[in-house]
Amino acid sequence: METATEKLKKSRAFLCLECGKCTAVCPISKYNDSYSPRRLLAEGLFYGVGDLISDRLLWSCLTCQLCSQRCPVDVKYSEYMRDVRELACLQGKWGNPTHGGALHEVMEMAASPKLRQSRTGWINADLKVKERGDVLYFVGCLPYHQEMFGKDFDFSPISIAEDTVRILNYLGIEPVVLENERCCGHDLYWLGKLELFDQLGKLNLQEIEDSGAKTVVTACPECALVLKQLYRERLGNTSFEVKHIAEVVAENSDKLQFKELAMDVAFQDPCRLGRYMGIYEQPRAVLTSIPGVNYHEMQHSGRGAICCGTTNWMNCDATSKQIQRSRLTEAKAVGAKTLVTACPKCQIHFRCSERGEESDKVDIQITDFVNIVASALKG
């Protein structure tokens, strides 16, 4: 196993100039004076990670990469956080998990080779799927989200899956949907539980390989990042191409017939879709091509977009809520009545924020990119 010093070198942490640009743009630092990327980096550099692994703030980092984007010497701060968290996990240190840690338990259970699931109960007679084929739809954790959040948050996470298949069917594609698909392991990766992440990856890759798929489509940016980059980084090259549904829709725009929707929308750039994978224009191009949709760009958008305020189901607190309310307020301020997300977790976090006190609510609609596209399809 790599030493702490070796991990620091890998993240380029020793190149830090202590200029403070990371702290200046960090969404957590804006609302929490105790949190500073520069301070946590310096602590590990000058004093070792002994105290840092016991610091609960270690788990607050959103790994959103705003700081790395502004860093003049390309310190990989998100990777630094992951590596220090790995050391913390090995010593039994942990942050403050949300929802009683239930979603972390799901991820860990999913890593068992003996697990057998029935994950296709949401597929109704109107949706056409098959067991083997060239295109596979990787559903991700939407079935779990449906059970956890569907009722309390007044929306249907599984509708994102349904509408993704509906869009693919409209394009003449009958995707493979796996009966025993598992969580991709995204959160385990960024929480430093890399051994479990590798176990999940090997199991998912075998399922995908057995399906015969040459292209994997997902509506979750976190799944897309894992399947496209992180599995390859950890487990070697894969035999399939990976696309987020926004890319698929944009590439096939000439095949789509849209009816008019009277909507004023803004778009929330997911960190993984944008800063991690460089996908900015495709969802915007699709939204602006729908008749009747008035698009409003937020002040912080594209490469400078602010994250949804929490990640990895960890350390969701008052700071997270302030970030979420600020983001929703920003969308409403530019004239949007609906904030469009392209990440299921973004929607969950924003809807959670809107469940607070009446005085804290921004009162803006929130929906997913695929739900809008599917609702606009003619026929």
Q: Does residue 1 carry a pLDDT above 60? A: no
Q: Residue-wise over 90-124: b if at least 16 C-beta within 10 A, else e? A: eeebbbebbeeeebbebbbebbeeeeeeebbebbe
Q: How far apart are CA 283 and CA 115, in angstroms?
A: 36
Write the secondary structure of 169-212 as one string of H (helix), E (strand) and C (coil). Answer: HHCCCCCECCCCCCCCCHHHHHCCCHHHHHHHHHHHHHHHHHHC
Give the per-residue pLDDT at 245.
Answer: 98
Tokens of 155: 């929306």
* CB-based contact 147:106 (threshold 8 Å): no
Q: Does residue 329 carry a pLDDT above 60? A: yes
Domain spans of the chain? 4-90, 99-250, 258-376
* CB-based contact 131:181 (threshold 8 Å): no
Query: Which positions ≥6 away from 19 have C-beta within 8 Å?
Result: 72
pLDDT digits (tens, 9 = 90+) for 162-173: 999 999 999 999
Q: How far apart are CA 379 and CA 375, in angstroms?
A: 10
pLDDT digits (tens, 9 = 90+) for 39-68: 999 888 888 888 899 999 999 999 999 999
Q: Does residue 14 carry a pLDDT above 90? A: no
Give the per-residue pLDDT at 46.
Answer: 83
pLDDT digits (tens, 9 = 90+) for 220-278: 999 999 999 999 999 999 999 999 999 999 999 999 999 999 999 999 999 999 999 99
Fold assignment, 258-376: Rossmann fold (3.40.50)
Fold assignment, 99-250: Rossmann fold (3.40.50)
Q: Is 258-376 in the same CATH topology as 99-250?
A: yes
